Homo-oligomer: A and B are copies of this chain.
């Protein structure tokens, strides 16, 4: 569909009702734009703050078509949307990021191939379709590696860390025929992400690289600025810009990298706002959520310079009960997502602590 500049009063359609959709909707509201959420759940975090919600399955073609008819542009907060659903939406309204960007990031094999073909380093990776291809790949990597389903994994789900001691038959049974890749292990000093935005005219802005600390495969803490040299920071920004341009990307794109002795290695890309970018809400005049809304709405991109240094800590599961302690801290912003059940490991909120630069 033809790109369109939204004006105040126009409506953004968001596929997905979680915390990313919620913070996108809050950012859109600041700009006088309305949001219409599409998700299967009642009382989803995003619905609580949006103008409208369509409650339907992600493959409900009629509901998708009605939703698209009711909004001015469509975006999404997670990458596991069926391609057929995107096609239905794209038939009547612009969908950003595009189906192409979505397809690349939905499949780890396609993603790694795409990045690699741009001359950007990724972990050595192998297409795994059988016990034989797995055994052969492990020979190349010295018996170590991470087996990942090509699709639908997140926060360590759908992943198996393999060593020469692993019971490969058991792993193949758990994989249960799903297409997968084996990635060689990468020795890294730290993990750094880059949040890049590209607008309808091809203009690109990047926030300064952000350092991430994981626990149990879940993001625990992010810091800006990342503790890396200027040269590494510059390289990280350049590869983010290269990826956004190569994907002809519209919106916010998130790139996770490993800092190694041999340079930066891209771990994965996400065609959306990202947990590590949450601190930009509080550390910059325009955060990642508003930046995404601006990009897909044909607005000028916002200034990405940070007025403060920042540390973001996720509140996982019943850590949300610590909200009052966090709220009492100096220079601290608390963000809670309106989720009813605090399951273990579930992202219930986050806090950002600011510090003068």
Chain A interface residues toward B at CB < 8 A: 7-9, 22, 25-26, 29-32, 34, 48-51, 282, 285-286, 294, 299-300, 302-303, 305, 307-308, 320, 323-324, 327-338, 340, 349, 352, 354, 356
Asked if B336 contacts A285 (CB within 8 A), the reply is no
Enumerate chain B residues within 8 angstroms of A330, measured Cβ to Cβ: 303, 305
Asked if B285 contacts A300 (CB within 8 A), the reply is no
A285 is contacted by which of B282, B286, B328 (Cβ under 8 Å)?
Answer: B282
Asked if A285 contacts B354 (CB within 8 A), the reply is yes
A90 to B30, CA, bound (A): 31
Q: Given contacts A49-B49, A51-B48, A294-B327, are A31 and B307 in contact (CB under 8 A)?
A: no
Asked if A336 contacts B8 (CB within 8 A), the reply is yes
Shortest beta-carbon distance from A39 to chain B in Å: 16
Asked if B327 contacts A302 (CB within 8 A), the reply is yes
Asked if B331 contacts A31 (CB within 8 A), the reply is no
Can you report 23 A-B residue pairs in the complex whose CB atoms are below 8 A from each other?
A7-B323, A25-B49, A26-B29, A26-B49, A29-B49, A29-B338, A30-B335, A31-B323, A31-B334, A32-B323, A32-B338, A32-B349, A34-B48, A49-B49, A285-B331, A285-B333, A285-B352, A299-B324, A302-B332, A303-B329, A303-B330, A303-B331, A305-B330
Most buried by B among A50, A285, A299, A324: A285
Enumerate chain B residues within 8 angstroms of A324, measured Cβ to Cβ: 299-300
Asked if A336 contacts B48 (CB within 8 A), the reply is no
A329 to B305, CA, bound (A): 12
Asked if A30 contacts B336 (CB within 8 A), the reply is yes
Most buried by B among A9, A32, A336, A354: A32
Asked if A328 contacts B300 (CB within 8 A), the reply is yes
Q: Given contacts A327-B300, A354-B285, A354-B307, are A31 and B336 in contact (CB under 8 A)?
A: yes
A32 to B340, CA, bound (A): 10
A41 to B8, CA, bound (A): 19
A336 to B294, CA, bound (A): 13
A307 is contacted by which of B22, B327, B331, B335 (Cβ under 8 Å)?
Answer: B331
Question: Which 8 residue pairs across A and B have the least CB separation, nearest first?
Answer: A32-B336, A300-B328, A29-B49, A303-B330, A285-B333, A307-B308, A8-B336, A300-B327
Shortest beta-carbon distance from A16 to chain B in Å: 17
Shortest beta-carbon distance from A190 to chain B in Å: 26
Most buried by B among A9, A329, A338: A338
Q: Given contacts A30-B334, A336-B31, are A327 and B299 in contact (CB under 8 A)?
A: yes
A349 to B31, CA, bound (A): 9
Q: Which residue of B lies closest to A327 (CB)?
A: B300
